[in-house]
Amino acid sequence: VKDICEYIYNVKGMTSVNLLSEKYKKTRQYLNRIFKQEVLYSLKKFIITVRIMDLVKFKIKNKHISMTELCYTYDYFDQSHFNRDFKKVCGVTPMQFFNDLPEFLFRH
């Protein structure tokens, strides 16, 4: 599980359960089961969370990048899928989130 987590962090969450299944030569069901036992998150939710958190850090450092460009930079097929994942992790839409950021985040 530690190797899987490190891999997901290294690829910035731009992977899938299917790709991990192939990489580690284990079934998706097996990976999901052991991952959830150890991390208390489903593998898919963890992947999405890592991707969104990296995306937030990237956007803060590159505040002039458009949402569309950000969406494609992080391997989203379309903006609605991106918006849905973002809202699952952050509780608000990307526009709401980035329009209401405290100024100090841009300095760190």
Of 60, 57, 56, 80, residue with least CA distance to 68: 80
Question: Percentage of residues in the chain with pLDDT exceeding 90?
Answer: 85
Mean local confidence (pLDDT), 4-22? 97
Instruction: Report pLDDT for 103.
Output: 75
Reported as a single tens digit per residue, the pLDDT across 54-106 is 999 999 999 899 999 999 999 999 999 999 999 999 999 999 999 887 777 76
Of 45, 65, 54, 59, residue with least CA distance to 98: 59
* 44 touches 84 (CB < 8 A): no
The whole-angstrom separation of Cα 100 and Cα 19 is 35
Q: Is residue 107 scored above 90 in pLDDT?
A: no
Between the two ends of the chain, the Cα-to-Cα distance in Å is 31
Sole residue written with tokens 């918006």 = 83
Instruction: Report pLDDT for 19.
Output: 97
Instruction: Report pLDDT for 101.
Output: 79
Angle at alpha carbon of residue 83, lines to 108 and 43, rounded to 5°: 80
- Domains in the chain, CATH or no CATH each: 2-107 (1.10.10.60)
